[in-house]
Amino acid sequence: MQTINSTLTVAAIQYDIRWLDPQANFEQLTQLISEHFANHSAVDLLLLPETFTTGFCINRDDVQAPANGGQALAWLKNIAKQYNCVVAGSVLVSHNHKKVNRFYWAHANGQVDYYDKRHLFRLGNEQDHVEAGTARKIFTINGIKILPLVCYDLRFPVWSRNRQDYDLMVNVANWPAARRHIWDTLLKARAMENQSYVVGVNRVGTDGLNIAHSGGTSIIDFCGENLITAQDNQQQIIRAELDFSKLKQFKEKFPAFLDADDFSLAHCEQVSHHT
């Protein structure tokens, strides 16, 4: 079992995404981040919701989705450099005559990693416009291994099963208020079954399809307990320092992972990034 003795400070931004208006979202986020860091210390990882520049507009062909990440990636890299941390959130990116829902990780040194959303939201016909990702990825920040997920991925425990290859799971979402109970429940379930810290980042407000979102952005420990949760229907940045020595001690006392079933994922590439 990996020895973990470090901490990681994580911040998550819950906000009302302006529909189809990237520039307004860049300006809004820049202000929220500036105000937060004027009163708080630095973080290692700053997380934004799914499709943070436009809202969940998968069927809009008139919305630009540059293959290179365009202005969205440039903005992420700039904020990462300015605040000396990893800044991460998902955007729609052109790919193979469709799009991918790409969860970018921009590092302060200019390096960029990404994970493409694997599970596409059938109820919203995401599969008609978006191509599913094929790689389950693990990113590393300061020695802490992190599994990135996007929204609907949360419903699929096999994809997120901890093979003792990560210490923290993060999920960024546009999860509707109508199914908020499921979001709250599954975040805790994933933390408990995988003996991992979990951060879930959701938006608030009503989008251009008249779908309401109430938030539920939370940082959860490996026992499924909320360390901090944003207020419902409010724009807010929450943060917590995660102590991975506590996770190590817990797993030594309760090593349920030793009794886990062996399995393999078909048609999936396993990728790790070390930073």
Q: Are 87 and 76 in contact (CB under 8 A)?
A: yes
3-state secondary structure the chain: CCCCCCEEEEEEEECECCCCCHHHHHHHHHHHHHHHHHHCCCCCEEECCCCCCCCCCCCCCCCCCCCCCHHHHHHHHHHHHHHCCEEEEEEEEEECCEEEEEEEEECCCCCEEEEECCCCCHHHCHHHCECCCCEEEEEEECCEEEEEEEHHHHHCHHHHCCCCCCCEEEEECCCCHHHHHHHHHHHHHHHHHHCCEEEEECCEEECCCCCEEECCCEEECCCCCEEEECCCCCCEEEEEEEEHHHHHHHHHHCCHHHHCCCCCCCCCEEEECCC
Any catalytic annotation for residue 50?
yes
Any catalytic annotation for residue 35?
no
- The structure tokens listed for 132 are 């599913």
- The structure tokens listed for 193 are 């079954």
What per-residue confidence (pLDDT) applies to 4?
47
State the residue for tokens 């937060």: 36
**Cα dist from 133 to 136, 137, 270, whole Å:** 8, 10, 12
Beta bridge partners of 206: 212
> pTM score, two decimals?
0.95
Q: Nearest CA to 18 among 66, 64, 53?
A: 53
Instruction: Name the active-site residue from 50, 57, 99, 188.
Output: 50
Instruction: Name the active-site residue from 117, 137, 188, 251.
Output: 117
Return the sign of the alpha-carbon dihedral for residues 62, 68, 69, 73: negative
* Gyration radius (Cα) of the chain, Å: 17
What per-residue confidence (pLDDT) applies to 275?
60
The dihedrals phi and psi of 144, each to the nearest 5 degrees, come to -95, 125
Q: Do the strands 168-172 and 98-106 form a parallel or antiparallel pair, or are they unpaired?
A: unpaired
| Separation between Cα atoms, residue 187 and residue 126, nearest integer Å | 22
pLDDT by residue for the chain (275 residues), tens digit each? Answer: 444 449 999 999 999 999 999 999 999 999 999 999 999 999 999 999 999 999 999 988 777 788 899 999 999 999 999 999 999 999 999 998 899 999 999 999 999 999 999 999 998 889 999 999 999 999 999 999 999 999 999 999 999 999 999 999 999 999 999 999 999 999 999 999 999 999 999 999 999 999 999 999 999 999 999 999 999 999 999 999 999 999 999 999 999 999 999 888 876 777 876 56
Instruction: Name the active-site residue from 85, 99, 126, 151.
Output: 151
What per-residue confidence (pLDDT) applies to 62?
77
Q: In the CATH scheme, what architecture does the domain 7-254 have?
A: 4-Layer Sandwich (3.60)
Domain residue extents for the chain:
7-254
What per-residue confidence (pLDDT) applies to 274?
59
Any catalytic annotation for residue 117?
yes
